[in-house]
Structure 1
Amino acid sequence: MSGEVAKDYAIVLTTCSAEVAPRIAEALVGTKLAGCVQRLPIESTYRWKGEVETAREVLLLIKIRAADYSAVEQAILALQDYETPEIIMLPVEQGFAGYLSWLGEATRR
């Protein structure tokens, strides 16, 4: 694994419209900011401007190098169509060495 450890990696979660999801995924993988982006259709219920709302969205699970979080956030914001998008990073505490090695190769810049 070239000295890399699981904690070098993270998963970023963001929600977006179905129209924007492929653009974000392709931009992040295309620039090697992400090794993989999974797109899941979801239905969200949330409070927005004092009202309870429900919407169909796409949840993106974005596999990244933790050190690239700021660049990933900026790329998402540049393509996102939400006023206040969810963008959160979850650290990877452990993972299969073979997968982490692949992720390292897929995200090298």
Structure 2
Amino acid sequence: MSDTVLLCYCTCPDASSAQVLADALVGEGLAACVNHLPEIRSTYRWEGKVVTDSEVLLLIKTTESRFAALKERVLALHPYELPELIAVPVARGHAAYLDWVRASVN
């Protein structure tokens, strides 16, 4: 069975911290590709208050077998005390693209 491709979501406070993460993850072979979606608005509860902030959303493509190392790197580099990192398995996709993701992170 082939390694499951994951789509990971990670928010960052600004473009520069998002770029640092993206460069490290792709450069170190932990992610095949990282898309940056700038200027999203996030509303969440933090320390008992409802907060709304502008953030950058990263869409990170990796595999199940590389997720633990990716998570460790995100936690080491991320400026937030509690970074968002959510991984969703890709159930369907363009087979050649999914094979490229697998090859890029191995």
Question: Would the aligned equivalents of 2:66 and 2:105 in 1 still touch at CA under 8 Å?
Answer: no
1:20 Cα deviation from its structure 2 partner: 0.7
2:36 maps to which residue?
Answer: 39
Q: 2-side partners of 1:78 and 1:47: how far apart?
A: 23
Scaled by the length of structure 1, what TM-score is found? Answer: 0.89
2:73 maps to which residue?
Answer: 75
Deviations 1:42-63 (A, max 9, x none): 1111111111111011111000
Query: 5+ residue gaps in structure 1?
Result: none
Partner of residue 4 from structure 2, selected from 1, 5, 8: 8
Query: 5+ residue gaps in structure 2?
Result: none
RMSD: 1.2
Q: 1-side partners of 2:103 and 2:65: how far apart?
A: 15
Q: How many residues of Structure 1 are paired with residues of Structure 2 in the alignment?
A: 104
Query: Quick check: 1:21 aligned with 2:18?
Result: yes
Scaled by the length of structure 2, what TM-score is found? Answer: 0.92
